[in-house]
Structure 1
Amino acid sequence: MTAEHPSVSVIIATHDRPQLLAKAIEAVRVQDYPGPVECVVVFDQAEPDTALARENPRRPVVVVRNDRTQGLAGARNAGAAASSGELLAFCDDDDAWLPAKLRLQAERLAATGADVVVSGIHVSYGDKTITRVPRPEDVTYAELLRRRVMEAHPSTVVVRRAAFLGKIGLVDEDIPGSYGEDYDWMLRAAAAGPIAVVAEPLVTVLWGRTSHFNRKWRTISDALQYLLRKHPAFADDPRGLARVQGQIAFAHAALGERSEARTWALRTLRGSWRERRAYLALAVSLRVLSADRVLRLAHATGRGI
């Protein structure tokens, strides 16, 4: 490790996606970053594949079991505990980094003095690829309350270890099903200090079909309600609050809970009549549209509900 090229630990939480995982690991190992890069693969609710381990002084691969809370949050924290890098990075097991990712992001951290840096993404959905790149003004606390800013994807995050263990904190393991744990962490990161941005797409994100949360509507509703309770600042941003309430309304509509969907939709519209998720939730609850069709159309534009 040197001051110019601090050591990096890349944490990949995985569950039952061996082929995609192999691609994610290889993309980490071929990074053109001059410093040491450790890849920590955390098997969540699955037997670790120790054959993936590599004892390479510059690009080792460490395989561990999630010995914390089951789910993404516990797995990411378990990976951080098992790692040694001065910088921590996260990569989902169905995503792949471009070769220059770590080098460009480490340079931006050094230039800005920030604790966290993100980049843009290529969203791959079926035969479509959509590029989305955040701006620095997109990843402020106020803007993140207003919208999720999906282009600042968790697989783009690099954070200083001291900040992850200190003022920002670990990933919240109490969030139901670990849904939205990355959003909660990003809100806390933005509240703790400025987030730097490399305004280039440096990660290819496989969207939609492979997501562990695809169509897990009960978990999504519970987690979003938890998020609103945890971050009372949503109450000060009517648009941000309506966005999350609209997502909850849609989740209940997808579950066939028509009364709950309409209650949340009306609550949403009282805060912001422009929030389209409320109208979609009402349409699904009235069976004018199917939740699956709405979800497919959203994914086709590189976005979610």
Structure 2
Amino acid sequence: MLAKSQSSMSKVSVIVPCYNGEKIIGNAIKSVLNQTYKNWELIIVDDGSTDSSCEIVEHYLNNDKIKLVKNAYNKGIAKTMNKGIEVSTGDFIAFLDQDDSWHPMKLELQLQKFENADNSLGLVGCGMVFIENNKCRRIFRINDEKLDQTHILTKIFLTSTNSSSIMMLKKDCLKKIGLFDEKLIGWGDFEMVFRVAKFYKIGYVNRLLVKKRVHPESANVKMKKKLRNEAKKIFPLICGYHPFLKSYLPLKEGNTILGKAIESLHNKQYKQARQLSLKAIQYDPRLRIKSKLVYLLSCLGDIGLVIIHIRNKHKYIQHLATFRKERW
């Protein structure tokens, strides 16, 4: 627990954007209510929901720490998040997606990270577990005690992994870097991390403190295309913030191609998997071993697919064991 009395501690503004979340918004609210750190305000910004989301939130408004702000119409995620920031009164800002949830010690551990650092620390993230169909699919975590800022940014850049739900920022940082880019529809939190890192250090609590719900069916074909097109603009922009990342663009593109090769393998499109795995090597020779392995598995056909399934099962067991250590 933190050393200071709760009443004298910094205030955290928790911002939850909500859109047609009647089935899930209650769990997000409870996730905040269950925090061991109690000096927070919860700002739920409804983005023009057409279901009973607002009615559900209103049941919690007898708690004077919880506020409901309504957009007159659907404005999109970035404008909704920014509206929450604008009405916030905390010293720190944390975000929680409506279908995600937090470990009870999430806020406490992130604030400890800030307390133990100097003023150069502007953002603290944490590990997260990706949940699909109530199963732990993969985990993401960074041990910042073993990595310098360059390696931290490189890892985030190459994995393209972030979520606003893992982020806590000093509110004062936003005065310098600005709010979420309202032109972005899906990469806003990712872009903000690198924008913060232009002026401040990034830290991580090396524990799985966020459950990230994955809904494969949630993004339609049209939206996926928009997100892919947006990504093509985001990565060069980020390289402009941090020029050293330009040297990783071929590796990043190669990893994307290799990911498509593995997806083709899962879909039993073995010829396409072989073609894509060879193409990945052309982008960056560092992918030679992984690409050749995918090529070999695709040559084995259904046997190769069985090997992939066994490997994935082993990986799932490892992730599950790691996740259970957090004792949610």
TM interval, short-chain normalised: 0.7 to 0.9
Query: What is aligned with 1:193?
Result: 200
Query: What is aligned with 1:7?
Result: 11
1: CA distance, partners of 2:79 / 2:33:
24
Query: What is aligned with 1:18?
Result: 22
2: CA distance, partners of 1:79 / 1:67:
15
Query: What is aligned with 1:75?
Result: 80
1:141-220 to structure 2, matched below 5 A, reads 141-146=150-155, 147-148=158-159, 150=161, 153-167=163-177, 169-175=178-184, 178-209=185-216, 212=219, 216-220=223-227
1:1-305 to structure 2, matched below 5 A, reads 4-35=8-39, 37-47=40-50, 49-51=53-55, 52-53=57-58, 54-57=61-64, 59-65=65-71, 69-70=75-76, 72-113=77-118, 114-129=121-136, 130-136=138-144, 140-146=149-155, 147-148=158-159, 150=161, 153-167=163-177, 169-175=178-184, 178-209=185-216, 212=219, 216-232=223-239, 233=242, 236-244=245-253, 247=256, 269-272=282-285, 274=287
Runs of 4+ deviating beyond 4 Å: 1-4, 66-69, 210-215, 233-236, 248-251, 265-268
The alignment partner of 2:248 has SS state of helix
Query: What is aligned with 1:288?
Result: none
2: CA distance, partners of 1:206 / 1:110:
30
Q: Is the 8 A contact 2:258 2:280 kept in 1?
A: no
2: CA distance, partners of 1:26 / 1:139:
35
Percent identity between matched residues is: 18
More helix by share: 2
CA displacement 1:219-254 (0-9 Å, x = unmatched) = 122111111342334675433443147548978x99
Query: What is aligned with 1:292?
Result: none
Q: Is the 8 A contact 2:113 2:205 kept in 1?
A: yes
1: CA distance, partners of 2:50 / 2:257:
34
Change (3 A) 1:181 1:197: same
2: CA distance, partners of 1:160 / 1:196:
12
1: CA distance, partners of 2:101 / 2:74:
25
Q: Is the 8 A contact 2:123 2:202 kept in 1?
A: yes
Deviation at 1:214, TM superposition (A): 8.2
| Matched length | 282
Deviation at 1:88, TM superposition (A): 0.6
Q: Is the 8 A contact 2:253 2:283 kept in 1?
A: no
The alignment partner of 1:192 has SS state of coil
Which segment drifts farther, 13-22 or 87-96?
13-22
2: CA distance, partners of 1:66 / 1:111:
42
2: CA distance, partners of 1:19 / 1:238:
44
Which structure has the greater CA radius of gyration?
Answer: 2
CA displacement 1:70-123 (0-9 Å, x = unmatched) = 2x2222112111222111101111101111111121122112132211111232
Q: Is the 8 A contact 2:254 2:281 kept in 1?
A: yes
1: CA distance, partners of 2:236 / 2:41:
36
The alignment partner of 1:62 has SS state of strand
The alignment partner of 2:20 has SS state of coil
The alignment partner of 1:243 has SS state of helix
What is the Cα-based RMSD across aligned positions, in Å? 4.3
Letter in 2 for 1:184: E
Q: Is the 8 A contact 1:42 1:76 kept in 2?
A: yes
Deviation at 1:23, TM superposition (A): 0.5
Please report the TM-score for the alignment, with normalisation by the length of structure 2: 0.68
Change (3 A) 1:274 1:45: farther
Q: Is the 8 A contact 2:82 2:179 kept in 1?
A: yes
Gap runs ≥5 in structure 2: 265-274, 295-311, 320-328
Q: Is the 8 A contact 1:95 1:155 kept in 2?
A: yes
Query: What is aligned with 2:303?
Result: none
Please report the TM-score for the alignment, with normalisation by the length of structure 1: 0.73
Gap runs ≥5 in structure 1: 255-261, 281-296
